[in-house]
Every structure is written in C-alpha cells, then in structure tokens.
A = this chain, B = another copy of it.
C-alpha cells in the first residue's frame, strides 16, 4: 500500500467527461489498495479567461484582488472532481488552498509555499476519503488568498506530497514522461525511465516544459519522488529522483529553446567599467541575462551581445536607453531568430570530452555556434533558429540517444516543427 499524491492539469480536467476519467483513475488506485490525494488545476483555459476578464475591467489589476479572482478556477474543478468521485461511490472531500493548509509568503501572483499544515488532509485519509486539493493557491500570514504563478499546481502537488510524507507525487499531464528530446523535433527520441532532479532542472530551464522548475526544486530540496506520466494512459512515465547508482549515459537529454533573443550593443568603448555599467543597468531593470558574448576589441571599441527571454526585451531596451549615451555606444540590434540547444547529463561530470565532441558534431554539420555556456551537467549553444531542429537531431545521434524505433506520433511537417519550436516549446 502506497500513499500517492496525483496531480491533474487543466487539460486533464477540461470537461465533465475528462473529470470523470480522472475520478476513475483515482478510484482504480484506491481499489489497488493505495491511499491517494488528488491535486487539480483549473479546467482547460479557465485561468486565461479569468485573466482576460480582469484585464477587460482594469488594465493594472491589483495583485491581491487578481489572486482572489484566479483562485476560483481550481475551486470549480476540485468540487467537480469530488462530486464525480462521490457519484462513483468513493467518499471524497474537496479542499481550497486555505483548507488544505497551504501557507505561502505574501508575494501575490508568485507566492512561495512556506508551510503545509497537513492535519485536514491526513484526517480525511484516515476517514477513508479521497482528498481533492485545489492547486495553484494558498493563503499568506494575513489570511489573504495567494496564487503561486503559472504552473503552480505542480508545486502544490509536490508540497502536499512532502507535507503528508507521500511515497510518490504523480504529475499527470498530456505528455507521457520525459524524453531524451522533443519527439516532434527528433522522431528517434526515447522516453527516459528516470532522470535526476538536477538533470530535470537543467532540462526545464532550457525549454523542456514537462515539469515546472519550481516544483522540481521543491522536490529536490525535500526529497519528493516525482512520477511524470500521461493523464490519459496507464503506462509508466518517467521518475524524477536522486541520481541512481546504476551506470548512466553521458548525456541524458537534449533540450532546445527558441524563446530567447540575442541583443547586441554595437561599438561599446573598451574602457574599464563600461561593461559593468551596462550589465548593472540591465540587472537593475530585472532583465534575466543568460549568456554574454564580448567580441575581441578592435580600435578601442567592441560589440557586446547577450541573450535574454523575449518577454524581458522591453525592460532591456528601457535599461539600455538610460546608459547608451553615457557609455557612448553606437546602437543596439535585436536578433529574434536564435535558438539555444543544450546537452544535459549528470554523466558529463565524470566524462571528459563532451564539449569537444559537441563542437565537432556541429562543425561537421556546418552549424555555426554563436555563444556557449556551461554548468557541471549542461552544455548550451546558441545557434541560428533555422538550424535548431537539425542540431538536435545530429547531436541526438552523435551521443547515442537514438531509439530503435521512430516515435510514432511524429508526422509533422518541417514547417509545423519549426512553428512549434518558435513557440518556445
């Protein structure tokens, strides 16, 4: 008998029919002798619709009122799931974030969970009921409703799993696990049986959007085992947990990300303190710079480039406008057509030559590398966006990640794949 927290996202509860299917899944777990707690997101696009309504009446909705509004979405789905379970004869009880004891800090719209008061959930389990918890929300110390930001339901699920000492936290979604790379981009992608927290974090942060980074961080910190699996099939997915002692491949997966842009500041005088001025202005305006490239100085001036998420671009331009004159630069260029391709693997730590092999592979395929950054378990390369798919494919083969069979659902055209990649998927 296991104690399982099972999270179902918006797509899995988008209609009464799907909610009934989720109820059947939970019922089957109970029938198999497990104890189970469900965590649900709002139905389908509810959160977006509520945001749209708020924006239509107030261009700058105060965060506190907005959180109250958004929190109603999960209150609907949690109640419907509890009703569906009751209809099948399985006693259930729904809990808002408040009732589930999810205590957060006071940062509305992006609150962080600080404590889980587990009494009510444990009591419901003792009574033989299936607790259904609203994801994405909690209350702060003042008793005000807070929300955890996009994808916050994953974090709720991990926090609840930690709070009640669950054996595993299932994240059920419309993907059936973590792959060596996006199967739609590389048809020979393989589903992984397990990845370590650190690998998952590197994969998440560079564009493999299966799990929310914050949820994985939380799981790593508190040792919660995550099982990422399909909400629509019974097949095993991918476990995210501490590194397993068994032999590992050098590279676990390849991620790609086209949501960043490259910004170049032209003809910056190569004087002490100029770069510092630029980067402190950017950091001060909340621009998340990723990679920074400074070319060799020619005639006392140089070009400085950096990459940042496209959403940070307005703030980047604002910050730079304030210092351009002062530093005497010639202007800025923005290149939207870049992609970042990242090799991720704990095995990199103990295996020399990964970078050399990666660069050689890119060179042999005439793919130009614009910038490079590394971590102990990741090697990222910025390239031109139209090369991204080919880069993923040649690296996937070069690092022995190819599956024996071709991913059956991949029948997208090159244009469709490029479009999906462009959307930062």
- The chain A residues found within 8 Å of chain B, CB to CB, are 16-17, 19-20, 23, 50, 53-54, 56-62, 65-66, 68-69, 72, 75-76, 79-84, 86-87, 94
Contact = CB atoms under 8 A, between A and B. Distances in A.
Nearest to A16: B56
Given A19-B57, A57-B16, A75 B76 contact: no
Nearest to A71: B75
B79 A69 contact: yes
Indicate the member of A23, A69, A75 with the most B CB atoms within 10 Å. A69
Nearest to A96: B68
A23 B57 CA distance: 10
A41 to B, nearest CB: 15
Instruction: List 4 tightest A-B contacts by C-beta distance, closest first.
Output: A16-B56, A58-B87, A58-B83, A57-B84
| Interface residue SS majority, chain A | helix
Given A62-B83, A65-B94, A94-B68, A76 B57 contact: no
Nearest to A70: B79
A177 to B, nearest CB: 28
A101 B207 CA distance: 47
Report which residue of A17, A57, A94 has the largest number of chain B beta carbons within 10 angstroms of its beta carbon. A57
A54 B86 CA distance: 12
A210 to B, nearest CB: 28
A64 to B, nearest CB: 10
B72 A72 contact: yes
B68 A79 contact: yes
B53 A76 contact: yes
A143 to B, nearest CB: 10
A57 B80 contact: yes
Contacts of A94: 65, 68
A60 B17 CA distance: 16
Given A61-B86, A61-B87, 15 more contacts: A17-B56, A19-B57, A53-B76, A54-B80, A58-B86, A58-B87, A59-B87, A61-B83, A62-B83, A65-B82, A65-B83, A68-B94, A69-B79, A72-B75, A75-B75
A76 B69 contact: yes
A70 to B, nearest CB: 9
